Structure 1
Amino acid sequence: MKTIRHLKAQKARLKAIMQRMDSEASFDSEDGRRYAQALVKLVLINMQIEETKKEAARK
């Protein structure tokens, strides 16, 4: 359960960062690359949360 809380906290931080970024920035710019990296991290965190919940449900 502690892992899920940690992942959700990371998710919230990344969402806050993304909201501060200009979402319409070109991906050729530094801001665009950071936005894309944050988006990828969010997807990975969501996948980890889902996997952790599935493992907990199996037990």
Structure 2
Amino acid sequence: MKNMQELLARKSKLTIAMRMIDRKASFETEEGRVYAQTLVKLVMIEMQIEAQEK
């Protein structure tokens, strides 16, 4: 399992990327798919952070 600092750094980078991606892009477009993939990665990292905090 990754340590907390690595997870927080990755979360920060993904959060910045999420701000630059169009949230309203259709999932039929590349940007829409990238947004969905980034969102899934961000949620997974948040779950890992929560698991380590317990």
The normalised TM-score by structure 1 is 0.83
Q: Stretches of 4+ moved more than 3 A in 1? A: none
After TM superposition, the structure 1 = structure 2 runs for residues 7-46 of structure 1, keeping only pairs within 5 Å, are 7-46=7-46
Measure, in 2, the Cα distance between the counterparts of 1:6 and 1:47.
14
Measure, in 2, the Cα distance between the counterparts of 1:18 and 1:47.
17
Structure 2: tracts of 5 or more residues without a match: none
Q: How many residues align?
A: 53
Structure 1: tracts of 5 or more residues without a match: 55-59
Identity of aligned residues (%): 51
Which structure has the larger Rg over C-alpha atoms?
A: 1
